[in-house]
Amino acid sequence: MGVAEDLSSLRDEALDSVASANDLTALEAVRVAFLGKRGSLTSVLRGLGALAPQDRPVIGQLANQIREELEKAIATRRDELASQALAARLQAESVDVTLPGRKRSPGKQHLIHQIVDEITAVFVGLGYCVAEGPEVELEYYNFTALNHPPEHPARAATDTFYVRDLSDEASNVPGECDVLLRTHTSPVQVRVMERQAPPIYVLVPGKVYRRDVADPSHLPRFTQIEGLVVDEGITFGDLKGTLEHFVREVFGSTRRVRLRPHFFPFTEPSAEVDVSCGICGGEGCRSCGGEGWLEVLGCGMVDPNVFSYVGIDPERYSGFAFGMGAERIAALKYGVPDLRLLVEGDMRFLRQF
Ligand code: PHE
- In this structure, which residue's CA is closest to atom 9 in ligand 1? 322
Closest CA to 8 of 83, 63, 58: 63
Please list, in sequence order, all residues whose beta carbon lies within 8 angstroms of the beta carbon of residue 207, skipping any fewer than 6 positions away: 135, 221, 222, 223, 224
203 strand-pairing partners: 130, 227
- In this structure, which residue's CA is closest to atom 10 in ligand 1? 299
Which of 71-85, 168-182, 329-343 shows the lowest mean pLDDT across its residues? 168-182
Name the band, by pLDDT with cuts 50, 70 and 90, for residue 57: confident
**Euclidean distance between CA atoms 9 and 200, whole angstroms:** 100
pLDDT of 141-162, one tens digit each? 999 999 999 989 998 888 999 9
**How high is the pLDDT of residue 342?**
95
Please list, in sequence order, all residues whose beta carbon lies within 8 angstroms of the beta carbon of residue 14, skipping any fewer than 6 positions away: 30, 34, 40, 41, 66, 70, 73
Q: What is the CATH number of domain 111-350?
A: 3.30.930.10
Distance 346 CA to ligand 1 centre (A): 30
State if residue 264 touches ligand 1 by the CB under 6 angstroms criterion: yes
pLDDT at residue 169 is higher than 70: no
How many alpha carbons lie under 13 Å from residue 24 in its C-beta half-sphere?
10
pLDDT of 229-279, one tens digit each? 999 999 999 999 999 999 999 999 988 999 999 999 999 999 999 999 888
State if residue 206 touches ligand 1 by the CB under 6 angstroms criterion: no
pLDDT of 106-128, one tens digit each? 889 999 999 999 999 999 999 99
Question: Has this prediction a pTM greater than 0.85?
Answer: no
pLDDT of 199-215, one tens digit each? 999 999 999 999 999 99
Domain residues of the chain, as ranges? 2-92, 111-350
pLDDT at residue 171 is higher than 60: no
Strands 129-130 and 200-209: parallel
